[in-house]
């Protein structure tokens, strides 16, 4: 699939001193995935169900049940909100160096593109303190 079919969007966060930048292709898809992970349902007026809603898990004790809930929420949101990918795996594990940090690891295929992509997203249970 060509880059133009994957779309183009404003780079986030914007860097205005250099002018607004753009992302295209696989980078646009990755940026969209990050936006879904960082967005709370209800934040987007036109798309009230958009986003994972990870904030509800802040300050929760790190447990298998919590990691299972986060995995389910991430899977549901990405399958609903990002039509350009097919999820191959979503894992949520404790960072071996810090018990209050979870590593949300995604393996996905961009539809019509060869190869798999990986993204590891850190989630701080203590609010990043």
Per-residue pLDDT reduced to its tens digit, 8-67: 565 555 566 666 777 788 989 999 999 999 999 999 999 999 999 999 999 999 999 999
The rounded distance, in Å, linking the Cα atoms of 100 and 47 is: 31
Give residue 22's pLDDT. Answer: 72
Q: What pLDDT is attached to residue 12?
A: 58
* Dist CA 31 CA 8 (whole Å): 10
pLDDT at 97: 95
Q: Topology of domain 3-124, per CATH?
A: Nuclear Transport Factor 2; Chain: A, (3.10.450)
Q: What is the pLDDT of residues 85-100, one digit of tens each?
A: 999 999 999 999 999 9
Cα–Cα nearest to 85, from 111, 52, 61: 111
Q: What's the residue count for the chain?
A: 129
Rg value, the chain, Cα: 15
What's the confidence (pLDDT) of residue 43? 93
């Amino acid at each position: 699939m060509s880059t133009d079919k994957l779309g183009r969007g404003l780079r986030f966060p914007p860097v205005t001193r250099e002018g607004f930048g753009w992302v295209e292709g696989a980078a646009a898809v990755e940026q969209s995935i990050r936006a879904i992970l960082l967005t709370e349902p209800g934040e987007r007026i036109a798309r009230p169900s958009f986003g994972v809603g990870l904030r509800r898990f802040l300050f929760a004790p790190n447990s298998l049940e919590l990691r299972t809930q986060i995995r389910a929420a991430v899977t549901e949101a990405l399958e609903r909100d990002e039509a350009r990918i097919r999820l191959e795996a979503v894992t949520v594990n404790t960072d071996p160096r810090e018990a209050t940090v979870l590593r949300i690891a995604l393996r996905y295929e961009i539809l019509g593109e060869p190869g798999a992509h990986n993204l590891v997203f850190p989630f701080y249970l203590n609010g990043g303190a």
